[in-house]
Amino acid sequence: MTQSPSSKADAPEPAQERQTILRLDGVSKIYRSGEFEVKAIDDVTFHVRGGEIVAVMGPSGSGKTTLLTIAGALLTPTVGRVEVCGIDVSGMSESQLAGIRRNKVGFVYQSSNLLEALTALENVRIVSQNHADDKQAAGERAKDVLEMFGLGHRMNALPKNMSDGEKQRVAIARALAKDPELLLADEPTANLDAKRGHEVMELLRQKAMELNKAVVVVSHDNRIRQFADRVVWLEDGRLSDDETHSV
Amino acid sequence: MLLVARKNLLAEKTRLAISIGGIALSVFLIAILLSLFRGWSERVGSFVEDVPADLWVASEGTTDFTAAASIVPSSLGLRLELIPESDVVAPLIVRPMEMSHLGGDPDDTFDVHFVGYSPEIGLGGPLEVTEGKSPPGPGEMIVDEQMHRRFDVDIGDRLVRGTKSLTVVGYSKGGDFVYTQVGHVTIDTAVDFLELDPPSQRTFFLMTLNDPSERESVARRMEIVLPGVEFITGESFAAETRDRILGQILPILIVVLIVAFIVGLAVAGLTIYTATIKKSREYGILKAEGFTNPYLYRVVFEQSMVTGVLGFLIGAGITVFVGPVAQAQVPQFVVFVRWQDIIGIAGATLLMALIAAYITVRRLTSIDPVSVFKG
């Protein structure tokens, strides 16, 4: 069993130290098909604190996305316990999980995954307003976040009229607009060239630090390492903190 | 309306137009067929219904006006007058036939529902003479104005059947059965024209009673007193007449209405379903972002409802506009748009939209939000 990545998180925290936002303890995800059984995630223990950026790296098929979706309350583990902001989500119903995703988790996807019929502002606003009680304030916040990402002049642009870099910035703005505690990014630079990828990661790191978000970035892109506070390695569903691996 | 629903609808205008067009076509077909049926129904039975008779008296086995196979002796009239409740008794000679213009092509015929009545009594005569002479004299006929419009039968024309002819002297209203029209002559003219043998035979007797509310009880009693004679109330006779004509059309109409409904449902269902399949990744994103299934159902439901409402408005609008125009061009195209039918069609459209949404919603449920992380 791989325990070492959690060792930092398990260390006694000073009172002023940042709170643990994501906690996976002994998590396994097993897919069964007839007599066959595949362990996508195998006994993973993994903690992330607020303001911390953790890169989960590993080869294709290692279980990175499965880990991310379990952390993001999209999948429930077969075994183990998952806590988001101190709430045990392991045994929650589908609607309860949706509530956790709505209120606590922001996603940045490999492709921007913007809604094609909606403008940049509407893409951000629809997510922020779904989360908020005060719809007007959420709408204003959507504008502010887009301004913060330098997209004030592109608010009314449709995704089809935006560059890949702009779309990914809108996607990050959307993830942050609902002010989640946990930000999960799946290969956020995969569809971007090196320069755009660097810009996006730098922006993600900067805003996550400013806003004190716990960030997990899943990638097999070695360039991600430089933006992470911590890098963990996932292979065959098992986690280690060996940073000497390269993809 | 939800932003996503509105934007998705407007983002694909061609798909929206197809969807609305399909429903509008379906609504139009349903509305025009129903209106046509109502129009025919209204027109076909109106003469029998509007003749102010409480009872129609005919030989046994007679059910309606158009078949008119009834033969009763003229002496029956005297016996009917002796019934204590009886007020007015009037004989009628009715015979469907083909006639043509004298001097015209003998093969260019048209159907006439020939009615001989007693001008002295008036009951069973033209309901309303709009032009010309009334009552008709010997050898003269008053024709329904629809016959005048459709077959160019004008006042002064001579209409012929075999070796006998009649002169048209007026037009009347309310005698249109769509497939045929009434032509009124006097009883004596009818006996002569039809060469009835014996000349005392009649088709019906019409009766009014001193107290119309007694018509059912009088009819039951008289059928016992006068075996072989039927006493039929005006409403029942009108209904049977309608059924005789429209009963043949109704099953066909129902099939076509069902087909029209299925066409609308198929177009709406397929366009909404394929639009949802196309957007399934986006619905997956919304699920991943914490939007619940009921929210997504509402998106589809609203899209379906808006499509349905627009389709209904366009389809119903076309019906209201096209109906009278078509009627003006083709006299047989008798439409009567009832607001009750429009409400019913609105309900059918709502059902169409609901089924289309339901089919799609089932697909939404199966969209896995994890799928948005793949590529």
Q: State yes or no: pLDDT of A17 exceeds 70.
A: no
Average pLDDT, rounded, for chain A: 85
Rounded to 5, what percent of chain A is helix, strand, coil?
40, 25, 35
Please report the pLDDT score of residue B248 as a whole number.
81
Query: How do residues A145-186 score in pLDDT, each as one tens digit?
Result: 899 888 999 999 999 999 988 998 899 899 988 889 999 999
Please report the pLDDT score of residue B67 as a whole number.
67
- Interface confidence, given as ipTM, is 0.86
Using a CB-CB distance cutoff of 8 angstroms, which residues of chain B are in contact with residue A127?
289
Which of A31, A100, A107, A131 is the best residue to mutate to test the B interface, defined by the most B CB atoms within 10 Å of its own CB? A107
Which segment of A92-101, A106-115, A124-133, A147-156 scores lowest on mean pLDDT? A124-133
Beta bridge partners of A215: A53, A183
Q: State yes or no: pLDDT of A216 exceeds 70.
A: yes
Q: State yes or no: pLDDT of A245 exceeds 80.
A: no
Alpha-carbon span A28 to A7, nearest angstrom: 19
Say if the Cβ atoms of B289 and A100 lie within 8 Å.
no
Pick from A100, A184, A76: which is nearest to B287 by CA?
Answer: A100
A189: which residues sit within 8 A by CB, 6+ positions away?
Answer: A196, A197, A198, A200, A201, A219, A221, A223, A224
Using a CB-CB distance cutoff of 8 angstroms, which residues of chain B are in contact with residue A190?
none
Please report the pLDDT score of residue B68 as a whole number.
60
Q: Does B372 touch chain A (CB under 8 A)?
A: yes
Q: Does B278 touch chain A (CB under 8 A)?
A: no
**Option in A65, A95, A113 nearest B292 (CB):** A95
pTM of the model: 0.77
Low-confidence ranges of chain B (pLDDT < 70): 67-68, 375
Provide DSSP, A95-164.
HHHHHHHHHHEEEE-SS----TTS-HHHHHHHHHHHH-S-HHHHHHHHHHHHHHTT-GGGTT--GGGS-H
Q: Confidence class of residue A3 from pLDDT cuts 50, 70 and 90?
A: very low
Return residues 112-131 of A near B (CB < 8 Å): 113, 115-118, 122, 126-127, 130-131
Say if the Cβ atoms of A98 and B290 lie within 8 Å.
yes
Using a CB-CB distance cutoff of 8 angstroms, which residues of chain B are in contact with residue A94?
293
Please report the pLDDT score of residue B69 as a whole number.
77
A15: which residues sit within 8 A by CB, 6+ positions away?
Answer: none
Q: Does A186 touch chain B (CB under 8 A)?
A: yes
Q: State yes or no: pLDDT of A10 exceeds 50.
A: no
Q: Which run of H or E residues covers position A170? A: helix A164-177
Query: How do residues B241-274 score in pLDDT, each as one tens digit?
Result: 888 878 888 888 889 989 988 988 888 888 888 8
Q: Does A95 touch chain B (CB under 8 A)?
A: yes
Q: How far is CA B18 from CA B276, B277, B346, in A?
A: 15, 17, 19
Q: Does A75 touch chain B (CB under 8 A)?
A: yes
End-to-end CA distance of chain B: 32
Q: Which two tokens stand for residue B85?
A: 């409740």
